[in-house]
Structure 1
């Protein structure tokens, strides 16, 4: 039995929660589908969903649990909320970027951010970035930030080159 984490993000989908759960579990290597609850007949006049369709799907992605809920078309995802994936290597950045951006919105790709095919925003970032942008040398920080702002998918080599300077 898994103990509940204190805070669990709940993501609102319009009928595609089960599809999204399978999609995310297929992308993250340390992932599992944990639980599915289905809409009952009771309350149909309120929830408007067909009995038996997924109401909530709980997934675990790299140790973080998420609840995906089929709530209807009333609410949509916004880039104001995103999930960061901290990557150790360029290969890892490429892996997540390629899979999560597939079918997503190309216009939402900027500075390591992307929106997947469900409209959910992700930030695919190298673990070395925080130390670069908080370096006490303002010239290094400025060079890294200037390089980052020109990238869609983040490039560790380009960031390191900007950090090192001329």
Structure 2
């Protein structure tokens, strides 16, 4: 049996194709895969989208139009690790469009999918071997919604 990696399946209530195109418009290194439609065998209306494959920055996804029975929760989220503040701002602004901001770089997009958008440097700052620097950086982060790297750097350095 050949295994071709992992694919994350996201359960939508009729918006799988719309969501796929939304994510493709945000993530630069992405592509649309197969779109599978219901046929006369059902259970959906023939011709309607049952599932759509898409790849975002190398991560494979399947959007499934499964109905309203299940919804997304923060128990599963996708991390978007960014190189700098500009990249954080880009992803944060696009993913929160019609969505909602959470704490510490977490958000829910307009479909209810949870994301964590943060600069990779954040991990170094909050895990610094100097416990006071790490605490100051962590305390600064805990008071934020969107991560402000300059403010966390300043807190880490004791400048705030």
Q: If the TM-score is normalised by the length of the shorter chain, which range does it land in?
A: over 0.9
Question: What's the counterpart of residue 36 of structure 2?
Answer: 37
Question: What's the counterpart of residue 60 of structure 1?
Answer: 55
Which of the numbers 92, 97, 105 marks the counterpart of 1:97?
92
Output the TM-score relative to the length of structure 1. Answer: 0.91
Q: Is the 8 A contact 1:5 1:65 kept in 2?
A: no
SS in 2 for 1:130: helix
Output the TM-score relative to the length of structure 2. Answer: 0.94
- How far has the Cα of 1:4 moved from its partner? 6.7
> After the TM superposition, which residues 14-163 of structure 1 pair with which residues of structure 2 at under 5 Å, given as runs?
14-42=13-41, 44=42, 47=43, 49-106=44-101, 109-163=102-156
For 1:157 and 1:128, locate their aligned partners in 2 and report how far apart those are by CA, in whole Å: 11
Provide the aligned length of Structure 1 versus Structure 2: 158
Would the alpha carbon gap of residues 19 and 4 (structure 1) be closer, same or farther in structure 2, given more than 3 Å must change? farther
For 1:145 and 1:5, locate their aligned partners in 2 and report how far apart those are by CA, in whole Å: 39
5+ residue gaps in structure 2? none
For 1:40 and 1:110, locate their aligned partners in 2 and report how far apart those are by CA, in whole Å: 43
For 1:129 and 1:89, locate their aligned partners in 2 and report how far apart those are by CA, in whole Å: 10
Q: Is the 8 A contact 1:58 1:68 kept in 2?
A: yes
For 1:153 and 1:37, locate their aligned partners in 2 and report how far apart those are by CA, in whole Å: 36
Moved over 6 A (4+): none
